[in-house]
Structure 1
Amino acid sequence: MTSTIPRTAVLLPGTGSDEVFVRAVFARPLAALDIELVTPAPPPGNALAEGYLAELGRLAAARGPLLAGGISFGAHLAAEWAVREPGRCRGLLAALPAWNGAPDAAPASLAATLSADLVAEHGVEAALAKSAEGSPPWLIAELGRAWRRHGDGLAASLRTAASRPAPSLAALGVLPCPAGIATCVDDPIHPTKVAREWAAALPRAAVVETTLTALGEDRESLGRATVLAWLRAARV
């Protein structure tokens, strides 16, 4: 097992998030395995998805096969890339997958579309104020930083994420690398049912459960859960 651990992991953020959050979640859990973490900044606006896929390809060409993954939409893109490039992906870290196949009426897709509408109509600051209603302080702080960093491209990037299909279960079914999946059982936007559907479809996968409550208190809780799931899957 030790000799097969990839030396580089490339992790992507979720919809409207940024590389700062990804690093807070995954840096230390991966460092414990002596894996270097690379967290690309979000490409602007409509370039979000294709820009990230291109960056995964560039990094794989430069560094060799990768441990790829991300959070929510970032996990979707990493899985999409892994399905396209199975020979260049040594493992998948999928935290909080939100749907498979077409987004349809997935809660995360609907939430991203609503946020895009708010931003387009009222601007980032008013949309943040509206999104803060009923949200925990840690999430408000994360959104405030990340949404402001996205700037004028925020609405377009939210729409890009909301409308892009994730890999189908059939596509996931031919991915040979081990996959670690983490789910927050108290998260209605990223249903645990989806995480378990991904795990059932993937040939080598494990799921570890955590909670949004734990994530609010300790960002690394989500990273530890995802990495632990990957380690379990890699032993199969």
Structure 2
Amino acid sequence: MSKPQTDHYRKQLPGSQLHYFDAQAAVEDICSGAWATLPYTSRVHAENLVRRCDPAILSECLTQIIERKRERDFPWFPARVVCHDILGQTALVDLAGLRDAIADQGGDPAAVNPVVPVQLIVDHSLAVECGGSDPDAFEKNRAIEDRRNEDRFHFIDWCKRSFKNVEVIPPGNGIMHQINLERMSPVIHAINGEAYPDTLVGTDSHTPHVDALGVIAVGVGGLEAENVMLGRASWMRLPEIIGVKLTGKRQSGITATDIVLA
């Protein structure tokens, strides 16, 4: 069968000005009836491939998903990057250095920006100096944090103002898993007339919390996050996909996070 061409699967979303890529049609063109057998996770990966993959390898990559094969890597293009300040700042330092290098060559440094949206959560450096029994503990600890990290916070503020596609969640809001990662997800992006599922990489072990919304989220290191920031593919083998059925009722005081960790 001829290789699918991605533009062939670009379709108008009824009742809107948006278009989307019909991953179901692409999968059915390779193997009739296969879409109904795919887990939700595989369907999201298939859409990502149809929308972003090189058409020359699209059939081969989709076949890996359809036949649940793990023989080769396929490209994945996450829609956004979530970083805590320790690793995220390092990536932004690299981009700032690239701006300097381009300026030295007579280029426009402002042209250097993350290609995909980056959300930087600044709250991993807090050291608690004042105990919780002090009613002013939060304000005092924040003042100490600001003083100790003045230069670093100044650089992060510069990044927020200077780079496009960079959103900063400032100190005082909690570390990555204390902030409601689900609230940070649009679930479905609608950018430049195109609708597509939210996917992301994050530099914290709690990144997969947002999977509860059907958002594929993978924890990565700083270099991998920086790679995705620049719009490059994150290559992966099809992971093992399992289903879990929960029965019964959780006891009072037991959270969904407790159940997942157990």
TM-score of the pair, normalised by structure 1 = 0.30
